[in-house]
Structure 1
Amino acid sequence: MPPKPLTNPRKNASQERSRATVDALVEATARILVRDGFDKASTNRIAAEAGVSIGSLYQYYPGKEALVAAVIDRHNQDIMQVVRRAFAEVALQPVEKAARRLIAVAIEAHRIDPKLHRVLAEQIPRTGRLENVEAFNREAHALFKSYLESHSDELRVRDPGLAAFVCVTSIEALAHTAVLHNSEKLSDKAAEALIDEAARLVIGYLK
């Protein structure tokens, strides 16, 4: 059995110059993944794309799997920041308005870079990042549950934890499947229609 690839960085960048190097490497990895795919990515190509020496790359990352893992982590962090802001924004809004806004944000987050999202979804098992995805889902469920608990007087459902699981899973499945298999549904007009139908689904369930 071949050894499991190393997916953690060798060290963290602490100074501005080293952070710039790491950023360049992660961004170059993302571009190559979208353009050429995982199999054609290599540390030499990534270093050249980033304008960084191969020695500098190996100072921070043991191999391309670690760089792909870094891209996955950054992509998930970017999406989670959008999600957190959305929940803060809708905290006091009624269910109908909040649900539509949260669905729109989920779909918009998946539209940020759909080609990259598709590639990363394929690489998550290879890089051992399933645990990070599960943590992302747990936080989304907790945020949705908290919202539902504070608006319980508007709801038909009586178990906010179960309702949060149903809603978040449904919304994520719709957005994720659109990115992976039905990218035409992410165009402006089609995305608006998808938001309308998903909102009808979620609001009908909750109320």
Structure 2
Amino acid sequence: MTEVTETSGPRLRRQPQQARSRARVEAVLTAADRILTTDGYEALTMRRIADDAGVPVGSIYQFYPDKGSVVSALGERYIGSFEAAIGALVAQADRGELTDMVGTVVDVYADLFRAQPGFVTLWSGRHLSPELARADEANNAAIADGLRRIMESLTGRPGGELMERATRIMVRVADTVLHDVFRADGEADPELLTELKRMMRLYWADLQAELGSGPQG
């Protein structure tokens, strides 16, 4: 795939203060998401976004200096949905309601992938530009931190080096498999979700045994 060298300035040139401006920014991001879903990353241009959003292209530049900044803002919106999901799962674990951590976490994130096809398209091209790589790392770090908090709640132990490593590994493995399950260029393969849960449950069981056997390190 052709490398994109476009750089990104600030995510927003200025914050929208009025309701009309906020609605315009939302329309721009919604249009960008729709274009990603239907036509892919290469079709995402400022002119195309303006046409799909029904706004003058000049009005987009009032808030976003280039395509890269639109992508960054859209990526942050996707990340926000993942962070909200992990926050809800942490609260569920704290209440003692998370009886199947692996199954629940995988299902929740699979639902997010399923509901946000633009996210899949965007992340499948994360090597194209620096802003996509940064967004990808931020997303994985946020999920790993949430998973660590869930593990701390379930085990009653503070996170240590072992738990930190484990959450990073689990997130990277799950991220790779979920992108394969919901790949933008083909049909979803739900059987991969079953195998992902099987593998992660075995890893989690082994990790629980090790965490309970002595100090982490």
Q: What TM-score bracket applies, with the shorter chain setting the length?
A: 0.7 to 0.9
Change (3 A) 1:11 1:122: farther
Structure 2 distance, partners of 1:41, 1:16, is 26
Match of 2:126 among 124, 128, 142: 124
TM-score (norm 1): 0.79
Are the counterparts in 2 of residues 87 and 102 from structure 1 also a CA contact under 8 Å? no
Deviations 1:82-136 (A, max 9, x none): 222122212343875222211211222221123x123201443415232333233
Task: Indicate the residue corresponding to 2:188 in structure 1.
Answer: 184
Are the counterparts in 2 of residues 25 and 47 from structure 1 also a CA contact under 8 Å? yes
Return 51-60 or 125-134, whichever deviates more. 125-134
Return 22-31 or 97-106, whichever deviates more. 97-106
Match of 1:35 among 34, 38, 46: 38
Deviations 1:159-206 (A, max 9, x none): 3222222323332222222222764224xxx47635643553344433
Change (3 A) 1:44 1:197: same
Q: Which runs of structure 2 are paired with 1:71-110 in the superposition (5 Å)? A: 71-93=74-96, 97-110=100-113
Q: Kindly indicate whether residue 177 of structure 2 is the aligned counterpart of residue 174 of structure 1.
A: yes
Change (3 A) 1:107 1:175: same
Identity, % of aligned pairs? Answer: 23
Match of 1:111 among 111, 114, 117: 114
Residue 43 of structure 2 aligns to a residue in which SS? Answer: coil
Number of aligned pairs?
200
Change (3 A) 1:101 1:3: closer
Q: Kindly indicate whether residue 51 of structure 2 is the aligned counterpart of residue 48 of structure 1.
A: yes
Aligned partner letter, 2:65? P
Structure 2 distance, partners of 1:28, 1:95, is 36
Structure 2 distance, partners of 1:41, 1:182, is 20
TM-score (norm 2): 0.76
Change (3 A) 1:33 1:159: closer
Gaps of at least 5 residues in structure 2 are 209-217
Return 71-80 or 196-205, whichever deviates more. 196-205
Task: Indicate the residue corresponding to 1:18 in structure 2.
Answer: 21
Structure 2 distance, partners of 1:147, 1:17, is 40
Q: Kindly indicate whether residue 194 of structure 2 is the aligned counterpart of residue 193 of structure 1.
A: yes
Gaps of at least 5 residues in structure 1 are none
Task: Indicate the residue corresponding to 1:64 in structure 2.
Answer: 67
Structure 1 distance, partners of 2:27, 2:71, is 13
Structure 2 distance, partners of 1:3, 1:206, is 42
